[in-house]
Amino acid sequence: MATAPAAETAAPSGGGSKKLIIILAAVLVLVLLGGGAALMLLKKKASAEDGEDGEAVEAPVKAKAKAKPDHPPTFVPLDPFTVNLADKDVDRFAQVGVTLEVEDPKFADQVKAYMPAIRSNVLMVLSHKTAGELLTREGKEQLAKEIMRESVRPMGIELDDEDEAADDTPKKKKKKRKAAVESPVTQVLFSNFIVQ
């Protein structure tokens, strides 16, 4: 008889541990769902607060307006550039890999047709830079703007340098100036950047 009560006490404890595991799993699922819902609400609240600023929401909207869902972006890689820099005290050089992002494949073919002139213009820009200018983030951003301007110049597209135009021209002349030309090159990407 001693074996019968031992078997009866073992069975309820096994069934109770299964119930406990099921209850803990259900509680864990509810906690995860609640955490996910809270995270979604916080993200929605943060994006609504950005909407009050005005500018924070408009910038992404403009970027989405330019993006064409019917085709992926087109990239035109340029062969790496190796140039002597304009440092006077020490001989320094830079090796820079550049890829142009363009709005459509037709313009990519046009860029490839003008590649010798584009490479020449980019080399001229790079050779007038010093190592100090290229080592800072601002210098790299300025270089990207200059490369964008010089990469479309052989095709007859003249882009205004926005920074210089804002500083040098009075407000009256800005009104008389022609509308800004949009560049078919949407972005200049650096694939490698070595300064020695």
**Which of 116, 134, 110, 126 shows the shortest CA–CA distance to 79?**
116
If one compares 191 and 7, the residue with the highest pLDDT of the two is 191
> Whole-number mean pLDDT of the chain?
76
Pick the closest to residue 165 from 186, 181, 188 (CA basis): 181
User: What are the C-alpha distances in Å from 111 to residues 83, 184, 192?
Assistant: 22, 10, 21
Backbone angles phi, psi at 136, to 5 degrees: -95, 155
Q: What is the arithmetic mean of pLDDT over 24-40? A: 79
pLDDT in tens, 120-146: 999 999 999 999 999 999 999 999 999
With 70 as the cut, is the pLDDT of residue 7 above it? Answer: no
pLDDT in tens, 64-116: 445 555 678 889 999 999 999 999 889 999 999 999 999 888 888 888 999 99
Residue 167 pLDDT > 90, yes or no?
no
At the top level of CATH, which class does the domain 74-195 belong to? alpha beta
Comparing CA positions, the residue from 74, 94, 95, 107 lying closest to residue 187 is: 74
Indicate yes or no: pTM above 0.85: no
Buried b (16+ CB within 10 A) or exposed e, 107-133: bbebbeebeeebbebbeebbeebbbeb
